[in-house]
Amino acid sequence: MKEAKTVDHSSNAPDVAEGKCPVDHTAPTPQAVIPSTALPVVELSRIRQVLGIWARPEKFFSESRAKYGHRFRVTIIPGIRIHVVSAPQDVKEMFLAPRDKVHTGSSNGPIEKWTGQNGLAFLEEEAHLERRRAVMPSFRGSALKRVERAVYDLANETVASWPRDEAVSVHPYAHRYTTLVIMEVLFGEHRPSRQDEMLELVMKMLTFNSRTSSMTMFHRLPAWRMAMLKAMRPNGINTFLKQREQLHKMVDQAIDERIKSGAPGDDLLGVMLSITNKDGSSPTRIEMRDEIMTQFLAGTETTASAICWALEFLTRNPDALDKLIAEIDEGASDKYLDAVVHEVLRLGSPILQIVPRAIVKPIVIGGVQYQPGDRLWASAYLLNRDADTYSQPEEFQPERWFGTKPGSHTWIPFGGGHTRCLGDRIAFTELKATLTAIFTTCVVERADPKPEPAHSRIVVNIPKNGSRVIFRRRKVNAELATN
């Protein structure tokens, strides 16, 4: 007979005497990791991919996901491996990735012609964190309250000036409104002496963003090639560069005026002038200018797009519009208005594909091993329409937000992680203020019953025709409009 094995009941042995299994079955099953090179690649030619993303982005991304799944690679830029991701877990892990492994600044090349390279959009790791903390007061606290008051006043004034009884594209009017708001964010009560000229010049420059040439990184080309492009006047590049030079001079003058006045403030310029970095230095003139230029672009294009999408969806969904108008007229609650804004930003995210994340150190995300040189391009369009997260995802249903807060990795119109949009609260308020002003005073009719598809405008997407509608005076509500 074999001798029975002795069980070691010492403190270092598994506690099997108490009936506990020595194997931890609660531990997660090791996940199989695949290299990013194993992910499917969109089979279309490069030019067809570029044109698809520019002209018909909704169709391109929907069809690609249906064919390739939640992860696929596009080959729109030679030599750069760009992986589109749209699974919530992938997006969550990307947002939570360490700052030293995933960068965003190097992916902002298309907007560098506007922003320069010295603003928050291009900083990484500790430098990004320090700058973000430093400028945060101009988007929160007392500054936010001041801007919110201005937002409602500007909404009432600008909507009242919009054309009536004729079909118009809303986008240029909405864009002017959002630019007026960003002037409040940038300068507060200490306005530059040339603010009117500055506003008009910014508006002219912003029209360049509708050209396909706005997506090219011509600013990085050799001088001889740049000279050739500038000579081709129809592309608008020469005009844009001349206007940018003028605007830089105006911004520099605004900085000089503020320094000379010594006036403090919680506006962005005032906050930047008060910053002392950890090393004792202050932001340079170029850094201040680049942050201001960034806001002229990022702080206006996105919200103008969202206003257009709001009108696009509401005029196609009369039941939702009737409920919204009833709540606005009653004036007792913003519940339905808040839900409408959440739903607009879900279905009509201004940025369909958020800024790509460049992998700078090897990292595993969603069971995929990504290497330096890879870029992750999270799709807000696909994620916000994920049928596993949203029932009837293509339907405009504001009620879905009653009692529900948007998830940080399932609703990403403002991006996420440590680069989430600083002006998200201001943008949300702008949408609420604009919709309130419009539907208090106007009856809005579609100029064309057919839905407007998305169309690229530099890094944002707008309804192809800028949301063409007709504003009729709402005479029955004239008293409400003046109260």
Residue ranges per domain, the chain? Answer: 31-482
- Give the per-residue pLDDT at 481: 47
Mean pLDDT (whole number) for 82-92: 96
Mean pLDDT (whole number) for 442-453: 95
Mean pLDDT (whole number) for 446-453: 94
Q: How many CB atoms lie within 10 A of CB 24?
A: 8
Options 1.10.1380.10, 1.10.3720.10, 1.20.1730.10, 1.10.630.10; CATH for 31-482 is 1.10.630.10
- Give the per-residue pLDDT at 465: 94
Q: Is the pLDDT of residue 126 over 60?
A: yes
Distance CA 121, CA 346 (A): 24
Distance CA 326, CA 340 (A): 13
- Give the per-residue pLDDT at 106: 82
pLDDT interval class at 211 (50, 70, 90) = confident
pTM exceeds 0.85, yes or no: yes
442 is in an annotated binding site: no
DSSP secondary structure, 98-144, as one string: -TTTEE-GGG-GGGHHHH-SSSGGG--HHHHHHHHHHHGGGTSHHHH
User: Which pair of structure tokens corresponds to residue 340?
Assistant: 């409408």
Backbone φ and ψ of 431, nearest 5°: -65, -45
Q: Is the pLDDT of residue 90 over 50?
A: yes
pLDDT interval class at 22 (50, 70, 90) = very low
Q: What is the mean pLDDT of the chain?
A: 90
Q: Is the pLDDT of residue 4 over 50?
A: no
